[in-house]
Chain A
C-alpha cells in the first residue's frame, strides 16, 4: 500500500470530557487501508475512550472522525457500525443459549424488523467465517463450553461478519498463550491484506510491536509520541511514562542479615477469571520489615495477585500469613489481621470528607492510638490537613492517592499492599509520593508490597524486586541487578 493512498479513517482534534476530567485531549491520527496503527498508553491514559469515541459508544465534545470522507463523529453506534466500523471487544458476551454458528449468523443479520428467517447465503458465509478464524470444529457447540481463546475467536468472527472497513481491536492478546498469540497475529495480519484499516488498542508497545506499522502513545489523555514501534519504544517521553527517568536503587543491606522467617508466603498461586488464566504458579514471599516491589506492565497480573492475597478472588495454591494459611478467611478479616491493601482504583468514599475517610480507617484502633496515628499521618501528608473538610471525590488525583494511602495506614497495617499508586498521576506528584514513601521506609518498621509499572518509582525504595509478565513471575532479585538484567527487555 503506497503512502499516497488516502486515509480510510481520519481523526482530528478529538476531545472528550467527563465532568471536570479531560479524558481525551486533541487527539488526531490517520489510518490508510491495509495499515495497522497501535494505540498504546497505560491504564487511564484515555486510549479506550478514543476507541469508544470512534465506535460512537461515547459522544465526543469536539473533533471530527472521518470514515472514507464522511464525518461520523457523534453518530449513534449502530449507524457507525453499518457505515463500516467493527470492534472486537476484550470481554466477550456471546449469546449463551445459541451455538457458535448462530452467534456468527446474528452478526450477519440486517437491521430489519421484518426478516424472520436469515437468507440462505448467510449460513454459508457464517461457516466460511468460522473456518477462517479457526472455529470450524466447534461450530455447533455453545459458547459456555469453549476455551477462552475460542471465545476471542468468536468475537473476531462477529466483527468480521460485517465486513468492516475499519476494525478496532481492544487488547488483542490479553489472556492468550504464546501459540494463540501467533494465530491471532496472523488473523489480524490478514486484515491488512484485505485492505482494512486496523486500530489495535493495548497497554504497551511490546505486545503489538511485531504487528503494527505505526504506534501512537497516549498519556493522561494526550498524544505523547508517534512513529514506528522502535521509535516509540526509544522515545524519551514514553520511557519516562513507563519506566520513569534514570533508575536509582537504595536496597538496605542490613536487612539480609535480619532475614529469617517470611511474614507473607505465597506458593504456586493460580487464578482464573472464567476461562482466562490470570496467574500461573506464582510464588513470592515478603519478610518482616522488607519493602518488596512487584513490577510488570498493566495486565501482567499484579492486581490479581494482590486481590488473591486480600481474599477478594478465589485461587488455588497457598497463601500463608505469619505461619497460618489465609484460605477461608473473609477479606475484612484478612484486613483486620494486618494485610491492608490500597487498591489501584483507590476506592475512596467520594461524597464523604477527607477526615471521615481517615476516621473510618482508624475505627478499629483505641481512641488515643487513633489520634496519634492521625496526627502522624497528617504530618506525613500535610496536604490532607488542609483538605480535611473537603469531600474526597473533589480532590485532585494526587491528593486522592495520598488519602488512599493514609487511610490504609490508619489501620496500622503490618503489611501494606500498594497497587499502582502512580496510576494517572503527573510526574511532579510522583516525586511527592516518592518522598513520602521514602520517609515511611526510613522512619517506620513497616513492611510494604508495592505493585508498579513505573520502574523508576518502584525501584528506589525496594529491597527486593519481582518482575511479573503474562501471569508469571519471570525474574526475581536485587534492584541493583534489575537495570543490568531486565532494564532493556522490560518495555
Chain B
C-alpha cells in the first residue's frame, strides 16, 4: 500500500479536501460541492463502462429517477433520509427495468437504448408538468442545509463514503469478475461466470449510487430540473470526466468532474468561451492521453 502512487496522491488530496472550509470561500465551496456530486455520478458510470464494459449513455436516466423520486416523495411530506432511500430504490427499479431487456443487445445498441430512455424520461417530465414542474423544475420543501460549509461537509462525506465503497468493490472479487466479463464475455462464461447476472448487478450498483447522488444534489440545490439532473449535457459531462480522469480507475472520474466544473468557473472571465476552452483541453487529453490523467499517472511501469 505504501508503495502505491495512488496512496501518496490520495492522502494529501483528502487532507486538502477535508480542510477546505478553513481556507476556501463560500463561493468556491459551492463549486466543489456540486463537483463532488458529479464525482459520484462519474464513479458510478465508470463501474459500468470501465469494468463491465457497457457504454451506458443513460446515466441521467438513473440520476433523474433518483432525483425526481426523492423530490416527489419530499413534496408528499416524507423526511429527507426516507426520500433519499426511496429515490435510490426507484432508480434501481428503473435501472433493472431498463437493463434486463437492454443487456440482451450488444455493442452500440445497448448504448442507444439507454440514450432513448433518457429522452423519454425528459418527455415524461415535460408532459406531467403538473407534478414535476415541467421545464421550470420542481421545488422541494426541505434542503440539507443553508450553510455552504455544512453543505460542503455533506458532499465531501458522501463522496468519500461512495468513493470508498465503489473503489473497494472495483478491487474486490466482483470487480475482477466484472472486468473479465467486460473484456471477453465468452472467456468469462467459460470460466463459469454468469455474465448477465454480474452485469445486471453492476447496473444495479451504478443505479443505486447515481440515484442517491441525484437525490442529494436535489436537496442541496432545493430544486430538481431537467437541466440539472437529466439533460444529455450531464451525460456528456460524466463521460468526459471519466475519459479525462482515466477510465477503469473509479477515482479518475472525480478528478475529471472537479476539473470540468472548477475550470468552467475559473475561466468565467472568458465569457461564453470558457466551455470552448474546457472542451478543447478535454479533447486534447482524449487524443493525446487516451488512458486519462490518473490512468497515465498510475500506468503499470514496464518491469512490473
Contacts and interface: CB of A to CB of B under 8 A. Distances in A.
Direct contact of A and B (CB under 8 A): yes
A113 B200 CA distance: 10
A224 interface: no
A30 interface: no
A113 B198 contact: yes
A468 B214 CA distance: 64
Contact of B304 (A56, A102, A111, A140): A140
Contact of B187 (A89, A109, A115): A89
Contact of B176 (A106, A141, A142, A158): A106
21 contacts: A55-B190, A57-B190, A76-B189, A77-B190, A78-B190, A78-B191, A81-B190, A93-B183, A93-B184, A98-B179, A106-B191, A109-B176, A109-B177, A109-B193, A111-B194, A111-B197, A113-B201, A115-B173, A116-B172, A116-B174, A142-B300
A98 B303 contact: no
A113 B178 CA distance: 10
Contacts of B179: 95, 97-98
Contacts of A93: 183-184, 187
Interface in B126-179: 168-169, 172-174, 176-177, 179
Q: How large is the interface on B (under 10, 10 to 19, 20 to 34, 35 or more residues)?
A: 20 to 34
A348 interface: no
Contacts of B192: 78, 81-82, 111, 162
Contacts of B248: 97
Interface of A: 55-57, 76-78, 81-82, 86-87, 89, 93, 95, 97-98, 102, 105-107, 109, 111, 113, 115-118, 140-142, 144-145, 158, 162
B2 interface: no
Contacts of A105: 176
A117 B184 contact: no
Contact of B177 (A57, A106, A145): A106
B302 interface: yes
A142 B298 CA distance: 14
Top 3 closest pairs, chain A to chain B, by CB: A77-B189, A81-B192, A116-B172
B195 interface: yes
A97 B300 contact: yes
Contacts of A116: 168-169, 172-174
Contacts of B183: 93, 95
Say what secondary structure dominates the interface of chain A.
Answer: loop
B216 interface: no
A113 B176 contact: no
Nearest to B204: A113
Nearest to A168: B190
A77 B194 CA distance: 8
A106 B180 contact: yes
A176 to B, nearest CB: 20
A238 B103 CA distance: 45
B195 A78 contact: yes
Given A78-B194, A106-B191, A111-B193, 6 more contacts: A57-B186, A57-B190, A95-B183, A109-B176, A111-B192, A145-B302
A77 to B, nearest CB: 4
Contacts of B201: 113
A142 B184 CA distance: 18
A95 B180 contact: yes
A82 B194 CA distance: 10
Contacts of A76: 189, 194
Nearest to A85: B190
Nearest to B295: A97
Nearest to B185: A77
A346 B43 CA distance: 46
A321 B184 CA distance: 41
Nearest to B176: A106
B190 A87 contact: yes
A98 to B, nearest CB: 7
A141 B173 contact: no
Contacts of A140: 304
A78 B176 contact: no
Contacts of B191: 78, 81, 106-107, 158, 162
- Max chain A Cβ within 10 angstroms of own Cβ: one of B168, B169, B248, B304: B304
Contacts of A111: 177, 192-194, 197
B197 to A, nearest CB: 7
A117 B183 CA distance: 21
Nearest to A93: B184
B205 to A, nearest CB: 10
B206 to A, nearest CB: 14
A98 B300 CA distance: 10
A87 B188 CA distance: 11
Nearest to A83: B192
A106 B198 CA distance: 14
A11 B169 CA distance: 41
A78 B189 contact: yes
A118 B303 CA distance: 27
A77 B189 CA distance: 5
A57 B186 CA distance: 7
A97 B182 CA distance: 13
Nearest to B195: A78
A141 B304 contact: yes
A109 B183 CA distance: 17
A360 B195 CA distance: 44
B171 to A, nearest CB: 9
Contacts of A95: 176, 179-180, 183
Contacts of B172: 116-117
Given A140-B304, A145-B303, A78 B173 contact: no
A443 to B, nearest CB: 49
Nearest to B302: A145
A143 to B, nearest CB: 10
Contacts of B174: 113, 115-116
B70 to A, nearest CB: 26
Nearest to A106: B176
Interface in B272-304: 300, 302-304
A93 B183 CA distance: 8
Contacts of A107: 191
B20 to A, nearest CB: 31
A144 B183 CA distance: 15
A117 B186 contact: no
B89 to A, nearest CB: 18
B173 A109 contact: yes
Contacts of B300: 97, 142, 144
Nearest to B182: A95
A140 B193 CA distance: 24
A312 B184 CA distance: 26
Nearest to B175: A116
B189 A81 contact: yes
A480 B180 CA distance: 53
A29 B176 CA distance: 37
B103 to A, nearest CB: 14
Given A76-B189, A106-B191, A98 B184 contact: no
A171 to B, nearest CB: 16
A81 B194 CA distance: 10
B223 to A, nearest CB: 36
